[in-house]
Amino acid sequence: MQSSKIGIDAGGTLIKVAYTENESAGYRSFRSRDMDEAAAWIENDFDHPSICITGGKSKVLASKLHTSAMTVVEFDATMKGIDFLAHEQERTLGDGYLFVNVGTGTSIHYVIDGRQERVGGSGIGGGTLLGLAYLLTGMRDYDTIVQTAGDGDRGQVDLKVRDIFEGALPPISGDLTASNFGKTEMMPGRTPANADILASLIGLIGEVVVTVSTNMAAHNNADAIVYIGSSLRSNPLLQETIETYTKLAGKTPIFLDNGAYSGAVGALLSLDEK
């Protein structure tokens, strides 16, 4: 049996767990709908652990555990986890930075002098990806959606700037999106491939996230934007879109290893502050 400390971020889509065992860290995640499985794993694999939980479903998960657990504010835990992971990975965030949590939805926070403030957000996020992917293609499994999108061509569905300025030199990059899904009206009688649809959907989500985030960064005079969240998990197309468009906006995108576990790491660290 393991004797450890456990930090948990119980979100709307995933339950992320960070734990220490013999001075080494481990990570594990469960789907939120599999909360009973997560609780059983904690009860069976750990011997009287110290537990701290954050996230929207923290109270529900705590009620399923026989071991008492402390709770902390999600956004503060996330900031704490980001700072820890950035230091561990030797990433410089600057005096003031934004962190953007692309989870079920998207939440944007400005961090300065060890304090965070929520400055914006959007209902566009991983829940949007799962919901629209199902409505458009019938697919439900996250990994299948992301893998299928990796084979897609956004140019088959999205209207690019170069498509509008046909035969002329556009005033901005022709590779930029003029209209997400805007090319579909030119396809009478033809339905795009699922891979192309999903690639365009992920592109739309990434571009919306970046537009809102970079505007908030400009408003707060922040250069670095740390992107975290479960929606970036094994999703290179979303990360690539976010990275490209953030740089085009003149800001510095930062992606941390295990960044999706920032909230769980922050909850874990909070156990040492009791």
Among all residues, which ones are annotated catalytic? 74
> For the residues of 201-247, what is the DSSP string, one character each?
HHHHHHHHHHHHHHHHHHHTT--EEEEESGGGTT-HHHHHHHHHHHH
Name beta bridge partners: 174: none
Q: What is the Cα–Cα distance from 263 to 251, expressed in whole angstroms?
A: 24
By the 10 Å C-beta count (0-12 exposed, 13-18 middle, 19+ buried), 115 is classed as exposed
Nearest residue to 178 via CA among 190, 163, 196: 163
CB of 184 closer than 8 Å to CB of 218? no
